[in-house]
Amino acid sequence: MLDFVAKYELTSTTALSANPAVVVPLLTINGWILMQRKVTAGSVSFNQSWAAYRDGFGSATDDDNYWLGLDKVYRLTQLGGVRLRIEVRPTTSLHFKQDSLALARIARDDPPASSTAPASSTAAAMRGKVGSEFET
């Protein structure tokens, strides 16, 4: 069993906003920015429109489903020195770390083509996504 203590910190930034006057609230866990949280009995659905995935939904400060938003994730990658860490808890002890993350900008109102592919394991599926388009 791992001795893991999670340090949660609420912070905010204007660097991830399209409007420099708008502050984006963030939750960090041990220094990592929370981009997505999915809880079993969440009241916020992940069945959202393209605009909701682009802009984000849910609240980082609530204990509910949350997605930071593709526009904010894109702005985050433009700051440089970005690494991606994915943790799947509590049913598995899986984590995946990518030493770099880059996103291409797409037209604001044009959702990408939809695609799905079954994967035998989450880690294997993530390894195969380097250079891939966003999908949920």
Going from N- to C-terminal start, the domains of the chain cover 8-127
Instruction: List the chain pLDDT tens, one digit each, 136 residues.
Output: 455 677 888 888 888 888 888 888 888 888 888 889 888 888 999 999 999 999 999 988 888 999 999 999 888 888 888 777 777 666 555 555 666 656 566 656 666 555 444 444 555 555 566 666 555 5
Q: Three-state DSSP class for 83?
A: coil
Q: Is 58 exposed, middle or buried (0-12, 13-18, 19+ CB in 10 A)?
A: buried
Q: Long-range contacts made by residues 131-136, C-beta under 8 angstroms, separation at least 24? A: 134/70, 134/103, 136/46, 136/53
Return the CATH class of domain 8-127: alpha beta
Contact 44, 36 (CB under 8 A): no
